[in-house]
Amino acid sequence: MHRPGRRPPPAQQWLERLREQAPEQYERLERLREESPREFRHQLRDLMMREHMRGQMQHEPRFRKMLENMPPEEREQLMQRLGRAAHRSQRMDAADPEVQSLEKAGRDLAQQWRKAGDEERPGLRDQLRENLAEQFRLREEKRSEDMQRLESRLQELKTELEERQANKDQIIDRRLQELLGEDTLAW
């Protein structure tokens, strides 16, 4: 678990909230943790990411409206796809050497500030603030790029959905032929 007096990691906090709000789902995850730790981590990450994406989508009225008009099954598939895309984006952010370098420099400056005398602290504080401003700028730049990527992907999915709806009868007939062995165009 975590050390006393320290805040638990985000996954643990999320699980504690899940235990209070959805005990059955929490119990299922705990059983999965015992039976298949790898699958547990995968599902936990997926659930956390989907919840995060749902929260983010609530702040975007266009997306919220579009989601409200989608059938529940398609909405869930879309949320899963967007969650996976966002997770990849977070991994890319964590792997960005410039971000990592700035984070390390920020931690070093904070440690120097804690050890410094009263005369050195204001200068170190200013340096740390500049470092954090640069980290913020980079993160927001990446978020903007991520949002543009997600919007693009969302538009692709919407177009695909509209095309499938427009070709519904053809798709159903083709599948019917496949299932009945009437597919004359098969290799």
CA pair distance 145, 18, nearest whole angstrom? 31
CA pair distance 142, 2, nearest whole angstrom? 31
Token reading at 87: 């997770």
CA pair distance 112, 60, nearest whole angstrom? 41
Tell me the domain boundaries of the chain: 11-95
CA pair distance 124, 14, nearest whole angstrom? 35
3-state helix, strand and coil shares in percent for the chain, rounded to the nearest 5? 85, 0, 15
Token reading at 186: 């098969």
pLDDT tens per residue, range 75-132: 777 777 776 666 555 555 555 788 888 888 998 999 999 999 999 999 999 999 999 9
pLDDT tens per residue, range 3-30: 455 555 677 888 888 899 889 988 998 9
Say which DSSP state 8 is in: P
Percent of the chain past pLDDT 70, that is, above it, reads 81
